[in-house]
Amino acid sequence: MRLPAPAGAQWDGNWQPDDSLAYRIITTVNRHIDGHPLESGLTANQFCDGRIDADREPPTVNVQLCWEDGLSASPALALVDAALDLGRWTEP
């Protein structure tokens, strides 16, 4: 199948069978914030018709925080940016 992934997304080339529509798991490269022990990325299921699964397994923002302190503005804005990308994936 030749379906382009959403902007910024990547996938391993494998489609998963499903009762209704085949799907693939798409991800983004983790975003690293210079000087902060934080990484974030997106994961979603994309159906073979191009839609992102927003119901059964909605997209997620994955966060790896390597300490227990709060976030300063720079890493917090990176998380907001990731969430906005996720929203663009699921817009009709």
Other CB atoms within 10 A of residue 24 CB: 19
Residues 62-80 have a mean pLDDT of 74
Whole-model pTM over 0.85: no
- What is residue 82's predicted lDDT score, i.e. its pLDDT? 81
Write the pLDDT tens digit of every residue in 22-49.
Answer: 999 999 888 776 776 777 888 999 999 9
Residues in CB range of 1: below 8 A, 6 or more apart: 15, 22, 48
Separation CA 37–CA 66 (nearest Å): 5
